[in-house]
Amino acid sequence: MLLTQYEQEMLDGKHGWGKQLGMEINTQLGNIYGAERMIPIQSVHMVNSSVLLSGNAVVDLIEEVVASGAKFAVPVTLNPASIDYENWKELGFAEDIHKRQVRLTKAYQSLGGVPLHSCTPYLGGNIPNYKERVAWGESSAVCYINSVIGARTNRFGGPAGLAAGLTGVVPEFGYYLDENRLGQYLIQVDAEMNEIMDFGLLGYYVGEIVTSGVPVFNGLSGNVSKDGLKMLCAALASSGSVAMFHVVGCTPEAPTLEAAFGGKEPVQVIHYGPEEAKKALDELNKHNGEDVGIVVVGCPHCSLEEIGQVAHMLEGKRIKDGIEFWVEASVPVRALAERAGYTEILTSAGAQIVSDTCPVHCFEKNFLENKQFSSLATNSAKLAHYVPGSCGISTYCGTLEQCVRAALTGRFVEG
């Protein structure tokens, strides 16, 4: 691989152990994927940010990098943690996990990382430009910035993200190259798409079929909100590992069907109508018929508009005793919700805005034993996909309205 003089010096250790480690990872990755050169990136969004998912070895590694005197070369934000920093005690997170999480976050901060601790950094201040090259982890955010913003990234796991942050460069392959961004599968949509959950169902159905391919959605253009796209991204990247898609007439690289495919024919045409939507919904409802113990919305973390919708539905009402209602949002969005008066409405109703984390990053054995949630209700296909397997909780998936009703009554009514 062709390296600039500075990149070679980093690899040779002339700029410290941290950058050397970063270049070793970069060059190995580049060799595996046949990259010809390194390219500069403008930001990193780092996974390996929650101590429960990363483990103690990552805490030790990041502290070792700090001890070497290294600093991040570009702005770096962090994905969710294993606690809500402000309300960890009230929410019932363990002291030991809090301690370990603080250690990990502090280590990243010493390198220059910003503990945004959100999976929607693009709603909280880290917003790439069109065509900007970045190095992001978090599958839903990767899909969002590639597809909706038109920035460029591959899916960066922990070591590759760390290497990108330390060196400011990455090997050029995958979605950095024009030819890999073209559509492959044509998805002809004629289902009703009224709720943001409908976009989750669409993504869940399509992700399973196209796996890591690039789907092109046709028939959606008049009907697409930012929050719907956010749900679509999360679901595509959970049943599959989609990192990029196009919506004809909506996303920046698909002004027309022809542009989305670069003039080529799709490898497969997939029809998505009411029957397919029902199939996806049935797959995601893995519940045991029990009452709901916790309702979670905000996977991916909520926009201000979503919090406003929940506040509107809960105004003047009271959540049933014994039920928790988590509205997940990043710290900046939570601050705006407070100013908009939404937080007061939510807390008066018995709901809470949870920041910095989510069930996938913080539900662990002791926490769940203490809480004894009978089942979970959510409007997120991604959360409904992961929770039964990773947390062992029976899960209902439905519209925001169904979720709010479940919080008020304890019963999730299907249909």
Residues that bind ligand F3S (CB under 6 A): 80, 119, 140, 234, 299-301, 328, 358, 360-361, 382-383
Q: How many CB atoms lie within 10 A of CB 313?
A: 17
Retrieve residue 234's tokens: 């999360």
Our CB check for ligand F3S shows the closer of 23 and 233 to be 233
Our CB check for ligand F3S shows the closer of 137 and 165 to be 137
Report the residue count for the chain. Answer: 415
Our CB check for ligand F3S shows the closer of 79 and 167 to be 79
Retrieve residue 174's tokens: 């995958």
How far, CA to CA in Å, does 330 sit from each of 2, 64, 112, 165, 307?
40, 29, 19, 22, 11
Residue 35 CB, shortest distance to ligand F3S, in Å, is 28
CA distance 144 to 314: 29
Longest dimension (CA), the chain: 65
Secondary structure element (H or E) that encloses residue 217, with its range = strand 215-218
Our CB check for ligand F3S shows the closer of 218 and 380 to be 380
Our CB check for ligand F3S shows the closer of 144 and 176 to be 144
Our CB check for ligand F3S shows the closer of 172 and 328 to be 328
Residue 42 CB, shortest distance to ligand F3S, in Å, is 22
CA distance 11 to 313: 56
Residue 232 CB, shortest distance to ligand F3S, in Å, is 12
Sequence-separated contacts (24+) of 64-67 with Cβ below 8 Å: 65/17, 65/18, 65/21, 65/107, 65/111, 65/162, 65/166, 66/107, 66/110, 66/111
Our CB check for ligand F3S shows the closer of 25 and 46 to be 46
CA distance 26 to 38: 8
Residue 197 CB, shortest distance to ligand F3S, in Å, is 14
Q: Following CA atoms 33, 38, 42, 48 in sequence, which dihedral angle do they give, to the nearest 10 degrees? A: 40
Are 307 and 327 in contact by the 8 Å Cβ rule? The answer is yes
Our CB check for ligand F3S shows the closer of 100 and 301 to be 301
Residue 52 CB, shortest distance to ligand F3S, in Å, is 12
Residue 17 CB, shortest distance to ligand F3S, in Å, is 31
Residue 301 CB, shortest distance to ligand F3S, in Å, is 6
Name residues whose C-beta falls within 8 Å of residue 58's C-beta, 6 or more positions apart in sequence.
Answer: 48, 51, 104, 158
Residue 300 CB, shortest distance to ligand F3S, in Å, is 4
